[in-house]
Amino acid sequence: MKVPSVNVPNVKLPKLKAPNVKQTITKEYWSNVFDDFKLDDQPSSKDRKNLSTTSQQELKNGEIYSLQSNLDFQDGTNHFDNETQIDIVSPDYKNENINVDEDKLPFSDDIRDVKDRSDFSSSFVSSARDKDEETLLATDMNKDLSVRHLLTLAVGGAIGTGLFVNSGSSLNTGGPASLVIGWVIVSTALFTVINSLGELAAAFPVVGGFSVYMDKFVDPSFAFAVNLNYLLQWLVLLPLELVAASITIRYWNSSINSDAWVSIFYVAIGLANMLDVKSFGETEFVLSLVKILAIIGFFILGIVLDCGGGPSHEYIGGKYWHDPGAFVGTTSGSKFKGLCSVFVTAAFSFSGIEMTAVSAAESRNPRETIPKAAKRTFWLITGSYVSILTLVGCLVPYNDPRLMNGSSSVDAASSPLVIAIENGHIHGLPSLMNAIILIAILSVANSSVYACSRCMVSMSKIETLPKVFAKVDRRGRPIPAICFVLFFGLLSFVAASDKQAEVFTWLSALSGLSTIFCWMGINLCHIRFRQGMHVQQISLDELPFLSQTGIWGSIYGIVILFLVLVASFWTSLFPVGSSKANATSFFEGYLSFPILLGCYIAHKVYFKNWRWYIPASKMDLHSGRKQVDLEVVREELRLEKEHLAQRSFFYRFLHVWC
């Protein structure tokens, strides 16, 4: 059904508090309004007072109902002026209805069953029920991010030290086969997360994304614990990446104080995040493009070197898979433990891919951009990791001592990519790869400020952080949140200290498993959301995008991620190469779990919230949800199917999965 334009006069009426003040609306104003709605008869002065069916008690409490357009019509435009509001407040209103011929209203199909004005407004406006939820709709955030920006933001957050540096330690403890198997298994779980996230973010394009979903569909205490853990991860990541960048510089010159480089990088990242969101997206696009081109270049170079096309003309093939071997260890148990040690590193390396939801509120047309960006991000990042790590396993033996020669876990000197190029005896390229690693590290640091600040805005909106962090300026920048993240980033100036490796080991331990907790929470949100839709008898046709893996995919993802947590517990308590329990190793790898549990219990006790979860029948499935015209959506889908039917199988395959 095509929804016609409704010309509401550009009148902004002051919001008044009942019962002391009465709103006066001119006869001419009501004449214009009701002419547009094509009423049989214009209401009399008595009927105007009786227009609202809100109870006397609600009016005495000073409640104000606002009719404000957040509709997306067929042409994608907003036919209401953004400033136009109709606020009706008077202590004299009665619980009576005016006579309206609903069949003659332009929205009659949508409001036929509406019994009162409160229901009428809720059928129009996506967040008129709850003032706090209304603020989550990002009306104060600039919607300037396209699919390209969302894709590069996720790539910027996900492709960094996990691929370029930390994969070396996983190769050393697990072997080349464990490297590939571990990343593939984690990526299958991640595929379900991306689909769940795409469905939720397309339907609820709110500030902070999943930070809100957990609060709406699971439990506020669960949301607080997971979101705080996730926030800590990004807070720690900024100083960690700045220190990593200063260490990377030592590849060329170790005589300059590391804090000097930290200062330069710190200022550059601070300035980048003070740009408006579109300029920030373009900056991140350039940085991510460099990383993507580097990955493509290394992939081609790796194949050439493996096939004997390097200066030494030595054919390598799968030699290192036989000697020293595909797995680390001499027994089946030791080999399996080596595989388990890879899982957490793999999950950490993929962290940031959920950025498509964090930036949902700042994207254009979330119904189309978010699903596309989510799926393309998954294939780009997963394809990059699996292909590069397969080549690394062929070019670098797991017992190469240089893999563990780094001064810390973020030292590019232990990068398997740099070692692979050095083994190929290609002069100059190791320096180029090191420069690319430096750019990748700075890109992750840049993304960390963006992600952390948006999560802080979201958490402050749902009142789990101080309200000051919810403030956004006219250019769409959450200045207080950005300043807080940058203030925490001052920890990076320990780079010149001899204790910097130890400091960041324990800082990282605070949120080491937060990515896994976050992904499990997203899948749980998706399951609970579908349960709520079923119980409240809301058709799935109302959703802009449906997860390709469905509820069963979300369950599979939770099971795999739970097994990853179990494997991490084992390898943290009993490290690879040791048969005895190690308390230091355990807390370095598993400290974030007791922190998560403590936050959950503390929130339950403080707010006296004793229920385990929000009942499906009481879930708020309307606030913040993107409203769609079902007839328009069905027509679009029909035309899309007709178009796809005329294209090749390869095109249809890419359209569905990418």
Looking up tokens 């614990």 gives: 225
Q: DSSP 3-state assignment of 566?
A: helix
Question: Which neighbouring-strand residues pair with 87?
Answer: 66
How far is residue 69's CA from residue 109's CA, in Å, rounded to a whole number? 18
Q: Amino acid identity, residue 584?
A: T
- In degrees and rounded to multiples of 5, residue 107 shows phi and psi of -110, 30
Radius of gyration over alpha carbons of the chain, in Å? 28
CA distances from 563 to 169, 183, 189, 553, 618 (A): 21, 14, 11, 15, 32
Q: DSSP 3-state assignment of 234?
A: helix
How far is residue 220's CA from residue 201's CA, in Å, rounded to a whole number? 19
560-569 tens-digit pLDDT: 999 999 998 9
> What ranges do the domains of the chain cover?
27-125, 147-361+369-632
The two structure tokens encoding residue 487:
């203030």
CATH superfamily of 147-361+369-632: Amino acid/polyamine transporter I (1.20.1740.10)
Name the pLDDT band for 59 (thresholds 50, 70, 90): very low
pLDDT in the model for residue 626: 62
Give the list of residues 6+ apart from residue 419 with CB closer than 8 angstroms, or none: 168, 396, 400, 402, 403
Question: Which neighbouring-strand residues pair with 12?
Answer: 85
375-419 tens-digit pLDDT: 777 887 888 888 999 999 999 999 888 887 655 555 666 788 888
pLDDT in the model for residue 657: 64
Nearest by Cα to 444 from 148, 243, 160, 247: 160
pLDDT in the model for residue 358: 57
Q: DSSP 3-state assignment of 19?
A: coil
pLDDT in the model for residue 17: 43
How far is residue 611's CA from residue 203's CA, in Å, rounded to a whole number? 26
Question: Could you tell me if 359 and 458 are in contact, meaning their C-beta atoms sit under 8 angstroms apart?
Answer: no
319-347 tens-digit pLDDT: 899 888 889 888 888 899 989 989 888 88
The beta strand positions in 363-417, using DSSP E, are none
Give the list of residues 6+ apart from residue 149 with CB closer than 8 angstroms, or none: 278, 281, 282, 284, 285, 359, 363
Mean pLDDT, rounded, for 85-101: 39
Q: Say what angle helices 176-203 and 167-174 make with each other, to 10 degrees.
A: 130
Give the list of residues 6+ apart from residue 371 with CB closer than 8 angstroms, or none: 198, 199, 202, 544, 545
pLDDT in the model for residue 133: 43
17 vs 537, which has greater pLDDT? 537
pLDDT in the model for residue 156: 63
**pTM of the predicted protein model:** 0.72
The two structure tokens encoding residue 495:
């780079």
Question: Could you tell me if 74 and 630 are in contact, meaning their C-beta atoms sit under 8 angstroms apart?
Answer: no
DSSP-assigned states of every residue in 66-90 = EE------TTS---S-TT-BEE---
Q: Looking at the predicted structure, is the pLDDT value of residue 486 above 60? A: yes
The CA angle 395-400-401, to the nearest 5 degrees, is 150
DSSP-assigned states of every residue in 104-140 = GSTTHHHHTT--SHHHHHHHH-TT-S-HHHHGGG-TT
CA dihedral sign of residues 184, 186, 192, 194: negative
Mean pLDDT of the chain: 74
Q: Looking at the predicted structure, is the pLDDT value of residue 530 above 80? A: yes
How far is residue 332's CA from residue 419's CA, in Å, rounded to a whole number? 29
Name the pLDDT band for 352 (thresholds 50, 70, 90): confident
The beta strand positions in 451-520, using DSSP E, are none
Share of the chain above pLDDT 70, in %: 69
Q: Say what angle helices 258-273 and 277-306 make with each other, to 10 degrees.
A: 130
pLDDT in the model for residue 149: 64
The two structure tokens encoding residue 301:
């170079």
How far is residue 331's CA from residue 335's CA, in Å, rounded to a whole number? 6
Mean pLDDT, rounded, for 5-23: 45
Which range is least confidently modeled, 42-56, 295-309, 364-378?
42-56
77 vs 152, which has greater pLDDT? 152
pLDDT in the model for residue 224: 92
The CA angle 399-403-404, to the nearest 5 degrees, is 100
How far is residue 18's CA from residue 541's CA, in Å, rounded to a whole number? 40
Give the list of residues 6+ apart from residue 526 with CB closer than 8 angstroms, or none: 196, 197, 199, 200, 547, 551, 554
pLDDT in the model for residue 98: 41
How far is residue 455's CA from residue 482's CA, in Å, rounded to a whole number? 11
Q: Looking at the predicted structure, is the pLDDT value of residue 97 above 70? A: no
232 vs 12, which has greater pLDDT? 232
SS3 assignment for 525-537? HHHHHHHHHHHCC
132-177 tens-digit pLDDT: 444 444 445 555 556 666 666 666 666 777 788 778 888 888 999 9
Q: Amino acid identity, residue 106?
A: P
Which range is least confidently modeled, 177-181, 259-263, 348-352, 553-557?
348-352
pLDDT in the model for residue 106: 42
Mean pLDDT, rounded, for 84-94: 37
pLDDT in the model for residue 160: 73
Q: Amino acid identity, residue 15?
A: K
Q: Give the chain's count of helices (H) and strands (E).
A: 28, 2
pLDDT in the model for residue 263: 92
Q: Looking at the predicted structure, is the pLDDT value of residue 232 above 80? A: yes
User: What is the signed CA dihedral for 614, 616, 618, 620, rounded to 10 degrees?
Assistant: 90
Burial class, 535, CB count within 10 angstroms (exposed 0-12 / middle 13-18 / buried 19+):
middle
Burial class, 321, CB count within 10 angstroms (exposed 0-12 / middle 13-18 / buried 19+):
middle
The two structure tokens encoding residue 545:
């995008």
Give the list of residues 6+ apart from residue 525 with CB closer than 8 angstroms, or none: 196, 200, 210, 213, 214, 217, 218
Name the pLDDT band for 374 (thresholds 50, 70, 90): confident
